[in-house]
């Protein structure tokens, strides 16, 4: 049910929607103009990290054209950490900056994650089989998703591997899922299902 009841004196009854959110509760960091800058995770640690990064972001953006090369690099990196750089702009921006080897690795990882994100964004349209195949292609190309990539990735590839009877790939996916969710009550029922898919992949 869409309940629109609200206290009559509420001056901003649609602020949630105006700021791009859909559900209560939602949290974000805003600038003083009310622009949503970042949306932290729900843990205290995630909020503290996002707060620090958002503060750095605002300070570096304020430098504008006066930013030094180092500050421009730092701005790019913090925007990348906060997923504020569009996927198709990551490489172009990185190429204009002097990055350390560690920075380059970080950029490369973000590009892999962005590639995965683009495939997963089309999952509903493409269907599970095509999506699983495309995601398995990422691993086949020697690319590894970061820990930030959701378990949906590994589940989709596990499904694909089960259908393809690819035991090695299925084992890799299962191992990640088990490591992430073993002992988690929310996944009590999912783990045996994933094991079934692994067994299916191994069955001749």
Partner 1 sequence: MNLLKLLPLAALLGALLPAQNRSEPTQEELTKLRTEKLAKPVFTKAAWLTDYDKARAKAKQENKLLFTYFTRSYAH
- Range 140-159, binding partner 1 (CB under 8 A): none
> In the complex with partner 1, which residue's Cβ is closer, 58 or 108?
58
The answer for residues whose C-beta is within 8 angstroms of residue 31's C-beta and 6 or more apart is 37, 58
Binding of residue 52 to partner 1 (CB under 8 A)? yes
Total residues interacting with partner 1, rule: CB under 8 A: 36
- Range 12-41, binding partner 1 (CB under 8 A): 12-16, 19, 21, 24-34, 37
| Whole-number Å distance between alpha carbons of 137 and 134 | 5
Q: Which whole-number Å values give the CA distances from 56 to 33, 61, 148, in the listed order? A: 17, 8, 21
36 in helix, strand or coil?
strand
Nearest distance from residue 84's CB to partner 1, in Å? 15
Nearest distance from residue 15's CB to partner 1, in Å? 6
Angle at alpha carbon of residue 179, lines to 176 and 182, rounded to 5°? 130
Tokens of 42: 């729900």
Binding of residue 84 to partner 1 (CB under 8 A)? no
Cβ–Cβ contacts within 10 Å for residue 103, how many? 16
> In the complex with partner 1, which residue's Cβ is closer, 11 or 183?
11
Binding of residue 66 to partner 1 (CB under 8 A)? no
Nearest distance from residue 16's CB to partner 1, in Å? 5
Kindly tell me which residue out of 20, 41, 46, 59 binds partner 1, with binding defined by CB under 8 A: 59
Of 107, 149, 159, the residue nearest 128 (C-alpha): 159
Give residues in contact with partner 1 (CB under 8 A): 1, 3-8, 10-16, 19, 21, 24-34, 37, 47, 51-52, 54-56, 58-59
């Amino acid at each position: 049910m869409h309940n629109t009841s609200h206290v009559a004196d509420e001056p901003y009854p649609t602020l949630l929607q105006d700021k791009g959110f859909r559900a209560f509760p939602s949290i974000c960091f805003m600038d003083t103009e009310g622009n949503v800058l970042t949306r932290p995770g729900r843990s205290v640690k995630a909020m503290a990290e996002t707060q620090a990064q958002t503060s750095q972001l605002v300070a570096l953006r304020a430098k504008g054209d006066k930013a030094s090369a180092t500050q421009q690099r730092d701005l790019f990196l913090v925007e990348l950490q906060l997923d504020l750089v569009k996927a198709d702009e990551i490489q172009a921006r990185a190429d204009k900056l002097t990055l350390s080897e560690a920075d380059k690795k970080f950029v490369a990882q973000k590009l892999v994650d962005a590639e995965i994100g683009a495939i997963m964004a089309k999952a509903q349209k493409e269907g599970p089989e095509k999506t699983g195949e495309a995601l398995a292609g990422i691993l086949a190309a020697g690319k590894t998703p970061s820990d930030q990539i959701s378990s949906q990735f590994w589940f989709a590839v596990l499904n694909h591997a089960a259908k393809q009877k690819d035991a090695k790939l299925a084992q890799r996916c299962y191992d990640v899922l088990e490591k992430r969710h073993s002992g988690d009550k929310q996944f009590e029922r999912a783990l045996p299902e994933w094991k079934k898919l692994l067994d299916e992949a191994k069955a001749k």
